[in-house]
Amino acid sequence: MREIRGLAFLLSGAWSLLLIPASSGLAQNPVQPIFATCPPVTRVYSAREVQVAAKPRADSTRMLRIVISPHAGANMIAFVVDTLGVPEQNSIAALQIADSSLWRQAQVEFRRWRFEPARASGCRVRQRVVAAVTR
């Protein structure tokens, strides 16, 4: 049987009893302690490893439309988004390209794209993004 201790609080002129379980010494969130250090920024995470994936900012992708999904279409690319939301310059790669002019346009516009950075355990992390590119 768990030990329970009671605390009395005065709420709007009446005493009420608040039951609080005795401290078991464990943190409420076993995944991430409150003041834990963030993982090293050298590692690149996949979409499965992050809690919040990188998302494109609408104002940065004016000419091309980016759909982040591993099964989105015929023109698939991959790249790494850093902790500031900027794609890393040499990370763009063509996974499946049906339209070579679209690929050349994506390579040019790639430098202007901006993203909300991915987060893992509350920390900004680098993420490999797989996306479909359309006009």
Architecture (CATH level 2) of domain 44-134: 2-Layer Sandwich (3.30)
Query: Could you read off the pLDDT tens digit of each residue along the chain, which spans 135 residues?
Result: 444 444 444 444 444 444 444 444 444 445 555 666 786 778 999 999 999 999 988 776 666 777 776 666 788 999 999 999 999 989 999 999 998 998 998 898 888 899 999 999 889 999 999 988 887
Beta strands in 1-135 (DSSP E): 4-11, 14-21, 44-45, 55-56, 65-68, 76-81, 93-96, 115-116, 118-120, 123-134
Hunting for tokens 């759909």 — which residue is that? 67
Q: Are 23 and 43 in contact (CB under 8 A)?
A: no
Q: Which residue carries 């919040």 as its tokens?
A: 52
Residue 131, classed as helix, strand or coil, is strand
Q: What is the pLDDT of residue 117?
A: 95
Q: Are 67 and 129 in contact (CB under 8 A)?
A: no
Phi/psi at 18 (nearest 5 deg)? -110, 120
